[in-house]
Amino acid sequence: MTFGIRRLRRAMNEMAAASLEQLNDSEAERLSNDRGQTTAEYALVLLGAAGIALLLLGWATQSGAIGTLFDAVLGGVIGKVK
């Protein structure tokens, strides 16, 4: 009877070790898979750029810088046409 229990324990240990090895392999594969990472980075950069653009637009609108810039550009274009 003792021999049967030892065999059973050994078999269970082998099965557990194989399961852990398989789990570790799938975990390593999941962690090494970078698909989608670049897309997420681009999305974050675009969100940051849009936020900065909105802040700049809000500042320029309140300070009147847009009108001044527009006048300067039109004045330069008209000056070159004459």
Distance CA 11, CA 15 (A): 6
Read off the pLDDT of each residue in 36-59 and give the average, rounded to a whole number: 90
Shared domain check, 46 and 15: no
Which of 65, 64, 67 lies closest to 75, judged by CA?
A: 67
How many domains are there within the chain? 2
pTM assigned to the model: 0.45
Q: Which domain holds residue 15?
A: 1-33
Shared domain check, 60 and 28: no
| pLDDT per position as a tens digit, 22-47 | 766 666 666 666 677 788 899 999 99
Shared domain check, 50 and 79: yes
